[in-house]
């Protein structure tokens, strides 16, 4: 550990986002004036950087959606690591031929070549050996990166190596983005968006069911290659902005965030693109405002914030909405169970099954003790349930202990009991479930029976016409509680 | 310290890293969780930064604990995002480790005012510097990395031996493990903890990303070389150690070929491991590409040879024919000219057939083999007709393929109650030695 800490190194390469023009001295950052300058994109450099990274985030979000749905999210990770040896080789080749090796085009070409080679090796290993995708990714990622590190070791020994700034590809160096870089990103992003639009139907099919696509005669391998090629393009142009370790984040996080909001692919692409673009622009903007904040990392953290927001609050798949709807369902289930328990009590003590009148219900209230025995409610839970049902006008107390169904409660309870018994009858007749076992099975499903399904059930069971059919099996009532006093039947 | 001792210590450090990582990597590869190694190793950076910011100290122990804790946290968060967020596993890993890494970068920049934390060291390691950082243990001056890695290796070895059975079952079949009363979840997090600790111990030497090379590449290669877990672990450990030794030598030797000094040992270790992996992919005895191709070539040659014998013996049976020319045989076997040429040559050399004028005919030894094939073919026909109810005019083609599975002939004979004729009323020859 000490060696790391003690290793004296120049921090000169730090991706410190001192975006020229918006330069702010330490201590006076986040002044209103500085914020305004960044937000309104007044400075040329800020404009270039923010728009450039925005385009990158947009394009990465679009193609990343396809990758996520194809379950290849981590391919970008292996791919981006595999670009390092290409950068080093391009540099060394340029130097060997007498150049400076600083040509961005040349370095990115090298990155593309080894990146594509890495993807090729992954596909090869997965197809022709017994190893699975994960091992193929791990092998390519680490070996290519290792080769890159070894080659970088050589680059450092060359005369101009130190000054080459190749390290910026690893952590990204947004601040050094020039307008030609931004134009390059913009063009690449447009090409990616255009290809995705043209091949939308084909790529969609590939993502959801590649086997079906193949059987329909689509060139699945070619489509896969096109998709990978777009990922390669985005990764390579993203190296400059966020660096090779973090470019994967732009490919993975915005689509993963978008997934929470929608089940439609087109919307997901739009949302992923927007999250990527806004996240990147905001990240670049924040690091432009603040001295000493690496912009690549800030971009990733901004999109991560979007992801967390989506994961907790997003659409119907988010954690909180899911929790709320589960909570609602369990409240509804408990309410229906309460109504059914009260109804069956009244019915049982009336001595015959079927329709219970309001008067009958009023004459046969059920005590808390009996209710507690009917279901696995705790005392507190039952108290809450009774309280809420009373507030909704479904039940009324006779005294502090005993409750009966009101007019309104009775009609709801009739529906619940009817559903339960229809389903039980269905299970006995069509699923061969023993009458002594249907109660529990029906219990699980009666609460979620849709009206159409009830209609079908009624049609299927034919003979059931009564408003409340009798139970197809003996109903066991909880023993009468000592305190309820009033013995019946 | 002289240069030889320096190199020796570097190699020992590398070997210890590689062995400790490969030992655990086997289980990652078998669980199809290789990329978890990558995710955990990226977590070292934020772990170090967080530990430093929390404790304000640069001493090793809090740093070690912080980095290992964030490593385990990565595994837990990935699991959590996957479970509660219903995100695909690869994506949840991608989200968690990139976010943590970015956080680490930001934290380090904030901390950089107080301390030289060098992310380059975290990423690439500084194995060349390890022999300079010495500690005294029992009166011996040893490089600190060697001491730390030895302890970690001993822990890994101890846990793997102690829980070998549990790790094995839960790697191959987590559900079976659960029904047997072994907590697959506990084993998962035990493994993740070990990997986090090993990664932290090793990153300083080989760098946090190259730990992944040592975790995944040797076990992946070993997986191609053997089918038994015990051997796989042994082979992976040997491959890991070999890549450490050869990697260091390569780092000194290879750049000198193109006129430079030495390069990064850690990088070369990964490269050598990759080369060993390529060798395994190509030449592994059962799963290698070359051996698969060779096996198929040999099999198809055997089939051509047997077809030739079968055709010749049928020709004899029909008309006591004297022989067939090469072109007739080629038409009958539908084999390519080259495989047929090789097959004919092999048959002649082994004395199964002889040249007779312009054609070939069976020699006595060949006739014995040919009759056995004929027997196999006709027994299969009978079996397909009787037991699988294939129409009699449909049994020839499948029997033509199945006849090469001739070692089952005696069993077929017994099952079919020693038939004397096949469905086409051809005589079935009796078995001959």
Residue in the structure block whose two tokens are 């290519």: A144
Confidence check: pLDDT of B289 > 80? yes
Cβ neighbours of B180 (radius 10 Å): 13
> What tokens does A300 get?
């990733």
B121 close contact with A: CB closer than 8 A: yes
pLDDT of residue A38: 66
In this complex, which of A71, A150, A311 lies closest to B263 when CB atoms are compared? A150
Interface size A-B, in CB pairs within 8 Å, comes to 260
A64 close contact with B: CB closer than 8 A: no
Assess contact for B42 and B178: CB atoms under 8 A: no
Assess contact for A240 and A177: CB atoms under 8 A: yes
> What tokens does B107 get?
């934290």
Between A220-242 and A104-128, two packed helices, what is the crossing angle to 10 degrees? 140
B120 close contact with A: CB closer than 8 A: yes
The arithmetic mean of pLDDT across residues B212-217, rounded, is 91
Strands A402-405 and B140-143: unpaired
Contact A294 B106 (CB under 8 A): yes
pLDDT of residue B137: 72
pLDDT of residue A410: 85
ipTM here? 0.83
- CB < 8 Å to A6, chain B: 116
Report how far residue B108's alpha carbon sits from residue A294's, in angstroms, rounded to the nearest whole number: 10
The dihedral built from the CA positions of residue B209, B211, B212 and B218, taken in this order, carries a sign that is: positive
Assess contact for B130 and B10: CB atoms under 8 A: yes
pLDDT of residue B112: 64
Report how far residue B214's alpha carbon sits from residue B237's, in angstroms, rounded to the nearest whole number: 10
% of chain B residues with pLDDT over 90 = 21
> What tokens does A199 get?
């091949």
The dihedral built from the CA positions of residue A110, A113, A115 and A121, taken in this order, carries a sign that is: negative
Contact B32 A255 (CB under 8 A): no
pLDDT of residue B232: 94
- CB < 8 Å to A133, chain B: 32
**pLDDT tens, chain A, 489 aa long:** 433 333 323 332 333 333 333 344 444 455 666 666 666 666 777 788 888 888 999 999 999 999 999 888 888 888 988 998 998 888 888 888 777 766 778 888 888 899 999 999 998 898 888 888 889 999 999 999 989 888 888 887 776 655 556 777 777 776 667 777 788 888 888 899 899 999 999 999 998 888 899 998 889 888 888 888 889 888 888 887 778 777 889 999 999 999 889 889 999 999 999 999 999 999 888 887 777 777 888 889 999 999 999 998 887 788 888 899 888 888 888 888 888 888 888 877 666 667 777 777 788 888 888 888 888 888 888 888 888 888 888 888 888 788 888 888 888 888 888 888 888 888 887 777 777 777 777 777 777 777 787 777 777 776 555 667 777 777 767 665 444 444 443
B123 close contact with A: CB closer than 8 A: yes
> What tokens does B285 get?
């005895």
CA distance B198 to chain A (A): 13
The arithmetic mean of pLDDT across residues B326-338, rounded, is 83
B58 close contact with A: CB closer than 8 A: yes
Report how far residue A212's alpha carbon sits from residue A210's, in angstroms, rounded to the nearest whole number: 5
Q: Is A266 exposed, middle or buried (0-12, 13-18, 19+ CB in 10 A)?
A: exposed
Assess contact for B78 and B93: CB atoms under 8 A: yes
Instruction: Enumerate the β-bridge partners of residue B325.
Output: B359
Q: Give the residue among B288, B254, B257 at the shortest CA–CA distance from B271.
A: B254
What tens digit of pLDDT does each residue of B172-183 get?
A: 888 888 888 888
Report how far residue A244's alpha carbon sits from residue B409's, in angstroms, rounded to the nearest whole number: 62
Mutate one of B91, B107, B217, B259 to test the A interface: name it (highest A CB count within 10 A).
B91
Q: Give the residue among B133, B131, B155 at the shortest CA–CA distance from B13.
A: B131
Q: How far is CA B364 from CA B313, B351, B354, B406, in A?
A: 11, 8, 10, 19
B285 close contact with A: CB closer than 8 A: no
Q: How far is CA B394 from CA B343, B382, B400, in A?
A: 28, 11, 11
Contact B98 A246 (CB under 8 A): yes
Mutate one of B33, B46, B53, B87 to test the A interface: name it (highest A CB count within 10 A).
B87
Report how far residue A315's alpha carbon sits from residue B103's, in angstroms, rounded to the nearest whole number: 27
Strand, coil or helix: what is B175? helix
Residues 6+ apart with CB under 8 A from A217: none
Report how far residue A107's alpha carbon sits from residue A86's, in angstroms, rounded to the nearest whole number: 7
Confidence check: pLDDT of B302 > 70? yes
Check residue A447 and report its DSSP letter.
G
What tens digit of pLDDT does each residue of B75-118 get?
A: 999 989 888 888 888 889 989 989 998 888 888 777 766 555 56
In this complex, which of B95, B144, B260 lies closest to A252 when CB atoms are compared? B95
Assess contact for B261 and A157: CB atoms under 8 A: yes
CA distance B19 to chain A (A): 17
Cβ neighbours of A417 (radius 10 Å): 25
Mutate one of B74, B85, B151, B250 to test the A interface: name it (highest A CB count within 10 A).
B85
Report how far residue B281's alpha carbon sits from residue A286's, in angstroms, rounded to the nearest whole number: 48
Report how far residue A196's alpha carbon sits from residue B230's, in angstroms, rounded to the nearest whole number: 48
Check residue B393 and report its DSSP letter.
G
> What tokens does A477 get?
């009532």
pLDDT of residue A43: 74
Q: How far is CA B335 from CA A40, A231, B73, B195, B342, in A?
A: 76, 45, 61, 54, 11
pLDDT of residue B117: 59
> What tokens does B323 get?
């022989």
Show which of residues 15-44 on chain B sit within 8 Å of chain A, judged by CB atoms: 29, 32-35, 37-38, 42
Report how far residue A118's alpha carbon sits from residue A78's, in angstroms, rounded to the nearest whole number: 7
pLDDT of residue A198: 93
In this complex, which of A143, A167, A252 lies closest to B94 when CB atoms are compared? A252
Show which of residues 134-173 on chain B sit within 8 Å of chain A, judged by CB atoms: 144-145
Q: How far is CA A346 from CA A358, A442, A446, A467, in A?
A: 10, 21, 20, 16
Report how far residue B285's alpha carbon sits from residue B267's, in angstroms, rounded to the nearest whole number: 28
What tens digit of pLDDT does each residue of B236-261 get?
A: 999 999 999 998 888 888 777 766 66
Report how far residue B191's alpha carbon sits from residue B36's, in angstroms, rounded to the nearest whole number: 11
A305 close contact with B: CB closer than 8 A: no
- CB < 8 Å to B206, chain A: none
The dihedral built from the CA positions of residue A472, A476, A477 and A480, taken in this order, carries a sign that is: positive
Residues 6+ apart with CB under 8 A from A31: A24
Res. B400 pLDDT band, cuts 50 70 90: confident
pLDDT of residue A269: 94
Q: Residue A432: which region, alpha, beta or left (left: phi > 0; alpha: psi -120 to 50)?
A: left
pLDDT of residue B272: 92
Residue in the structure block whose two tokens are 């312009």: B358
Res. B422 pLDDT band, cuts 50 70 90: confident
**Lowest-confidence pick of B11-25, B300-314, B352-366, B371-385:** B352-366
């Amino acid at each position: 550990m000490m060696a790391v800490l003690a290793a004296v190194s120049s921090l000169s390469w730090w991706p410190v986002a001192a975006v020229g023009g918006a330069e702010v001295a330490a201590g006076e950052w986040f002044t209103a004036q500085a914020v305004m300058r960044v937000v309104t994109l007044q400075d040329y450099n800020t404009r270039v950087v923010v728009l450039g990274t925005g385009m990158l985030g947009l394009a990465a979000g679009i193609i990343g959606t396809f990758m996520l749905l194809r379950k290849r999210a981590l391919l970008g990770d292996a791919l981006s690591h595999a670009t390092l040896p290409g950068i080093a080789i391009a540099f060394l080749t340029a130097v060997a031929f007498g150049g400076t090796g600083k040509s961005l085009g040349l370095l990115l070409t090298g990155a593309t070549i080894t990146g594509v080679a890495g993807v090729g090796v992954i596909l090869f290993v997965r197809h022709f050996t017994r190893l699975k995708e994960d091992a193929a990714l791990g092998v390519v990622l680490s070996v290519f990166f290792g080769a890159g590190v070894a080659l970088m070791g050589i680059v450092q020994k060359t005369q101009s190596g130190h000054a080459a700034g190749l390290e910026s590809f690893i952590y990204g160096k947004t601040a050094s983005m020039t307008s030609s870089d931004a134009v390059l990103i913009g063009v690449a992003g447009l090409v990616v968006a255009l290809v995705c639009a043209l091949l939308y139907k084909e790529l969609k099919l590939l993502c959801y069911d590649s086997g079906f696509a193949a059987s329909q005669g689509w060139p699945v391998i070619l489509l896969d290659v096109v998709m990978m090629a777009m990922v390669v393009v985005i990764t390579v142009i993203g190296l400059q902005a966020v660096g090779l370790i973090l470019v994967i984040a732009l490919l993975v996080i915005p689509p993963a965030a978008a997934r929470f909001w929608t089940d439609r692919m087109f919307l997901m692409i739009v949302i992923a693109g927007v999250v990527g673009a806004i996240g990147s622009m905001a990240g670049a903007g924040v690091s432009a405002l603040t001295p000493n904040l690496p912009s690549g990392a800030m971009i990733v953290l901004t999109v991560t914030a979007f992801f967390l927001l989506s994961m907790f609050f997003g659409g119907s798949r988010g954690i909180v909405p899911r929790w709320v709807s589960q909570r609602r369902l369990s409240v509804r289930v408990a309410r229906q169970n309460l109504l059914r328990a009260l109804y069956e009590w009244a019915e049982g003590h009336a001595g015959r099954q079927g329709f219970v009148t309001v008067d009958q219900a009023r004459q046969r209230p059920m005590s808390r003790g009996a209710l507690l025995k009917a279901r696995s409610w705790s005392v507190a839970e039952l108290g809450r349930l009774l309280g809420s049902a009373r507030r909704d006008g479904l039940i009324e107390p006779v005294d502090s202990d005993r409750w009966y169904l009101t007019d309104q409660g009775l009609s709801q309870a009739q529906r619940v009991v009817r559903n339960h018994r229809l389903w039980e009858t269905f299970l006995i007749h069509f699923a061969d479930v023993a009458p002594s076992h249907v109660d529990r099975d029906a219990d699980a499903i009666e609460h979620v029976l849709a009206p159409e399904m009830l209609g079908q059930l009624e049609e299927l069971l034919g003979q059931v016409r009564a408003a409340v059919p009798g139970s197809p099996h003996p109903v066991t009532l909880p023993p009468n509680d000592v305190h309820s006093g009033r013995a019946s039947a | 310290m002289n240069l030889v001792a320096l190199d020796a210590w570097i190699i020992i450090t590398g070997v210890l890293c590689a062995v400790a990582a490969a030992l655990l990597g086997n289980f990652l590869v078998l669980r199809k969780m290789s990329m978890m190694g990558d995710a955990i190793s990226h977590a070292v950076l934020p772990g170090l930064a967080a530990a430093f910011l929390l404790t304000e100290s640069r001493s090793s122990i809090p740093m070690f604990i912080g980095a290992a804790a964030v490593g385990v946290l990565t595994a837990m968060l990935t699991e959590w995002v996957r479970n509660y967020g219903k995100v695909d596993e690869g994506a949840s890993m991608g989200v968690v480790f990139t976010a943590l890494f970015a956080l680490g970068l930001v934290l380090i920049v904030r901390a950089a005012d107080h301390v030289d934390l060098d992310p380059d060291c975290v990423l690439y390691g500084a194995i060349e510097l390890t022999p300079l950082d010495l500690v005294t243990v029992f009166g011996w001056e040893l490089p600190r990395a060697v001491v730390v890695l030895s302890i970690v290796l001993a822990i890994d070895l101890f846990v793997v031996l102690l829980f070998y059975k549990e790790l094995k079952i839960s790697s191959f079949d987590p559900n079976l493990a659960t029904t047997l009363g072994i907590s697959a979840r506990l084993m998962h997090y035990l493994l993740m903890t070990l990997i986090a600790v090993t990664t932290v111990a090793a990153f300083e030497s080989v760098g946090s990303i190259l730990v992944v090379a040592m975790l995944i590449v040797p076990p992946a290669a070993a997986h191609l070389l053997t089918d038994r877990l015990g051997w796989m672990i042994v082979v992976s450990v040997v491959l890991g150690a070999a890549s450490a030794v050869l990697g260091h030598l390569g780092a000194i030797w290879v750049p000198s070929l193109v006129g430079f000094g030495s390069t990064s040992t850690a990088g070369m270790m990964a490269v050598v491991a990759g080369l060993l992996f390529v060798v395994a992919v190509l030449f592994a005895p059962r799963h290698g590409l070359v051996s698969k191709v060779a096996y198929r070539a040999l099999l198809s040659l055997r089939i051509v040879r047997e077809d030739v014998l079968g055709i010749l013996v049928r020709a004899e049976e029909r008309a006591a024919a004297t022989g067939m020319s090469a072109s007739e045989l080629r038409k009958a076997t539908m084999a390519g000219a080259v495989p047929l040429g090789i097959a004919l040559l092999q048959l002649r050399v082994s004395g199964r057939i002889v040249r007779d004028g312009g054609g070939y005919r069976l020699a006595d030894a060949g006739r014995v083999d040919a009759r056995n094939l004929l027997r196999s073919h006709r027994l299969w026909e009978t079996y397909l007709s009787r037991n699988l109810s294939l129409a009699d005019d449909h049994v020839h083609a499948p029997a033509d393929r199945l006849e090469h599975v001739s070692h089952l002939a005696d069993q077929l004979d017994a099952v079919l109650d020693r038939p004397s004729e096949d469905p086409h009323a051809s005589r079935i020859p009796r078995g001959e030695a």
